[in-house]
Structure formats: C-alpha cells, structure tokens
Amino acid sequence: MKTADYINEINQLRIQKKALILAHNYQNDEVQALADIVGDSLALSRAAADSQAEVIVFCGVHFMAESAAILAPEKTILFPAENAGCPMADMADADEVLKWRKRYPKAVVVAYVNTSAAVKAVSDYCCTSANAVKLVKNIPESEIIFLPDQNLGSYVAKQVPDKIIHLWPGYCITHHHVEPESVTAIKELHPDAPVLVHPECRPEVTKLADFVGSTSQIISYVNNSARKKYIIGTEMGVIYGLQKENPAKTFYLLTKGLVCPNMKQTTVAKVLKSLQTMQPVVQVPSEIRIKAEQALNRMLEFL
C-alpha cells in the first residue's frame, strides 16, 4: 500500500471512530502531517483530557500515552507503536525511588514526566522540561530528589542554587551523546545562527548554547525571532514543524545523532492498524493512576 492509501483509510476510520490523533514533535514527518494536534508531551496529554473524542491515537513513546491515560481515564488510548519506550524513563523504577526516599527522608521527589506511571505514583511532584526550574523554585521544600534525568536536574540545580538537589543518574540516550566539540564545530560553520538546545543535553553542551529550552520553548523562540538561521540541539523531528511554520528560515541539526529511535517506531501503517483493530490500548491500574494524577496536578499548583 502507498502512504496516500494508508492516509485515505485513516481519514475514514478517524471519523467513524470519533478518534483524535496526537503526535509528539519528535515523530516521523508523515505522522506529524496526519495528526490533529502536534505538541510536547504535556500539551498532548492535556489535549487528550480536554477533547470530546472517545478514542485517542497517541503517536509518541509509552510514558506519554500513559500520561494521557492518567489524565483521561474514561477514553480509549490507542498506542500504535507498542514497543516504543523511553530508555530514560526505564532508568527509574518505583522500588528504587522508595529506597532513595529512605536515604533522604527530608527530601521530596520531583519526577520529570519522562517516568512510568508507577514512578509518578511514588513521587510528590511531576515536572516537564518547560517548567522544572519554576516548579523547583516555587515549591516550599528545600531538599529534592530529582529524577530521572541528571542533565535536566543539574540544569535546574544551577538555576536554583539555594536548594539541595539529589540527582538520579539517568539520561536520554539521544541528547546525552551530543558533544561540546560538535557545538563548537557547527558554530564555526554557521556563526550567524543561534544554538538552541534541550536541557537533556550535558552541562558542557548547554553552557555553549545561546538558548536552553524544552521542545515547545525552542519552537516559540524560533517563531518569535527575526533571525534567519538556527542550529537545533534537540531531536530532529522538531525541524518538520519549525520549517512548516517558518518557510523562510533555515535550520541545521546540531549533530546527525539527534534521532530518537523509539520516537521513529510509529508509522502510518501502524496508525491505521491500531484504528482497525482498536489495539494496543494503554491503561493504568486505578490505584496507581490516582496517585500519579496527584503528582501531575500538584505540579500545576506551583506554576
């Protein structure tokens, strides 16, 4: 079957099944093109919760579909790429979090959204890369276990030096491998382009950047800037939307290694199959869901 045939069938089924298709900014271009909404992980989970649709097709990685299931328990959350996990989210498990809680009894746990529902359920607050600094600054507690991303955690610790932050040793397999030498080299090639990087990059890299921000913050930076060229230091999928919104601007990917293999597992063929079979479905057991939702909601109180 050709891509156009898959898309025709998807278009018929999405109407029949009253389905909303959500795609993360890191998805393959053709998946972003067919989605009703493209965005960052939290915006997509909120869109799932706010929508009137009965069925959500979540094109992303597992923790994102789980967050949608936490916030929209009455809806059917289809997850076409059933083996697409996030290796960083897998670097924290709930039992280990409970051990850290015993080790640091005065600390609260701030969990990045890139965690399983079970880890969120044993955490006090969730955060995203867009609001981690604001949240850690505003919560009343001064001792924090930050997990699972050591790079986002150390970026936060630098901006909030008056708090004690214990860093979990997790990292993103895509962003952690960006080298500072690559930043220096690409800056020499394009000296007129600002370097925009995600805080999941290592501190040696973020310190060389002109702007550090989440995917949505990088997109707003570009949309609101008059500059003509940009060096993008996050997953390559973001360039699809940037180019679409800003056809006169030029984007250079910081290194060709900025590809998340899990994000690339979703294809139009898998989206069609999930709508035909109404499988695989992501569900979160209710006792975990209620606690995980509390951590997500507590995040909003302090922003």
Residues that bind ligand SF4 (CB under 6 A): 61, 86-88, 114, 172-174, 200, 235, 260, 262-263
Tell me which residue of 93, 96, 57 sits closest to 75, measured CA to CA: 57
- The site partner of 215 among ligand 13P, ligand SF4, none (C-beta below 5 to 8 Å per kind) is ligand 13P
Q: Residues 76, 200, 202, 275: which binds ligand 13P (CB under 6 A)? A: 200
129 binds ligand 13P (CB under 6 A): yes
Retrieve residue 303's tokens.
Answer: 């922003």
User: What is the rounded CA–CA span in Å between residue 230 and residue 20?
Assistant: 32
User: What is the rounded CA–CA span in Å between residue 58 and residue 71?
Assistant: 13
Q: Residues 56, 97, 144, 172: which binds ligand 13P (CB under 6 A)? A: 172
116 binds ligand 13P (CB under 6 A): no
Backbone φ and ψ for 52, nearest 5 degrees, come out as -85, -10
- Is the CB of 124 or the CB of 149 nearer to ligand 13P? 149
Q: Residues 51, 67, 115, 128: which binds ligand 13P (CB under 6 A)? A: 128
Residue 16 CB, shortest distance to ligand SF4, in Å, is 31
| 39-68 residues near ligand 13P, rule: CB under 6 A | 40-41
User: What is the rounded CA–CA span in Å between residue 15 and residue 5?
Assistant: 16
Q: Residues 32, 51, 182, 214: which binds ligand 13P (CB under 6 A)? A: 214
Q: In what order do the strands lie in the sheet with 143-147?
A: 125-127, 108-112, 143-147, 164-167
Query: What three-state secondary structure class fits 32?
Result: helix
- The site partner of 151 among ligand 13P, ligand SF4, none (C-beta below 5 to 8 Å per kind) is none
Q: For helices 238-245 and 215-223, what crossing angle results, to 10°?
A: 20
Instruction: Specify the residue for token string 């989605």.
Output: 35
293 binds ligand 13P (CB under 6 A): no
Q: Residues 45, 215, 265, 274: which binds ligand 13P (CB under 6 A)? A: 215
